[in-house]
Structure 1
């Protein structure tokens, strides 16, 4: 009961500070005062019981959490035992094997167990970030990369994987910053350089007239072997075949057919844009799948090694 009284006093003290804020309406301030009275009555305490005060005050604890001054985002002072270090390394290797098997959820679990045993390893956080990205959990991947960088500010792979996660969220400007840092730390890494060029290209496309509307450059896609292969596979889909058939029928019977129609590049691009728009309207799930595959294949993150 003594511990509960300390907690109740801390909450009352916190609420009392809140009532001093000018942000509250009179009704809200009255509600806070009623809450304090209820706690005082239940636990039979008052503001005079200063011996129940806790240190640091609840407000300071909350402030530290909000500004991320807690241990969660900083390297830990915890020193694992030799046995825990060995077991953590085994779990990391298990996670790496799960990555190779494309069992990404199991990989996350293994890396998480390794982190619980040894929270001071940047490698474990960075590897978990890679697995999270494979599961499209990009926000979680970014947090893991931040923690890896906090532990080891010179860990180039953490910056590279941060760039990949940010790119997947279409945050290309931020991604470029991390790719540049990765290249600075590891100038011989071709993957970092390639991903940096692609991210810079994405920024250029966004500001280019050809990048407006559909959000990608058709000519670049048609010159991308991976996209052509993927498109050929997707075109086996009966829904896409039906859409293509209907569009071509409209084109042949409409004013765009013949000379000056689909035979010139401008009309071909226009027809391609019309087809993409029709795909979006008819089957948004399918076009989103297409975009995800383009995004995945555009960046060199699928065959990277794991430490």
Structure 2
């Protein structure tokens, strides 16, 4: 018997099992009976063919059981990795977490835990990568934002670290560690005389990227951007500039509503206290 007939016979067997159970009402039973007859006729199934059909329900149960077993093994590896971390066997912990990720790559906790192992080994770029992977799976994961901020601080990327700590505080407002890290980062930036705008930092700012992703997935924002592009094409037409300004203001309002704290941080980066031209700062250099 062909593979196709084996599958089709399995479907017929499943439908007949349903007919023998109490799962269907009268109308549904009639429909299923007609469907069985049509399938048997269309594929010219004999009783011998039907007896050789696969048990689809059993296959599904086996697959579910296998998936559960795989997840259980991944969780076991994660717990073993946690024990290795406590014993300061960081390289071994890293291997445990990596194996857990191979088994269950959709679990953000495994990436976040591996980020912690990377940090203990001084592998800060890998901490950033794993923290970002965790956030891609779970954008509102406070611990991942916190670990990202610590790694960025170690890499002297303080503007991005501030954004990561600020998001961590926003998600877990009672976490004193995140608050202290945010305070220290802001002090460091204030003392360093950092330029008002760090475009590279902004483009890699995970919180800004998260907000942009959320905004772009909003149908209202998609309509707004479409309108903005149309207005840009006709910016020289009468009223075109005003339309651009209105669209820009609407975009700013959407960003403010989505994440007011991040917008305030961006505003401070563009116009920092004590920066050029600000209180206690030097006047801006003349245009060249």
Q: Please give the TM-score of this superposition, normalised by the length of structure 2.
A: 0.44
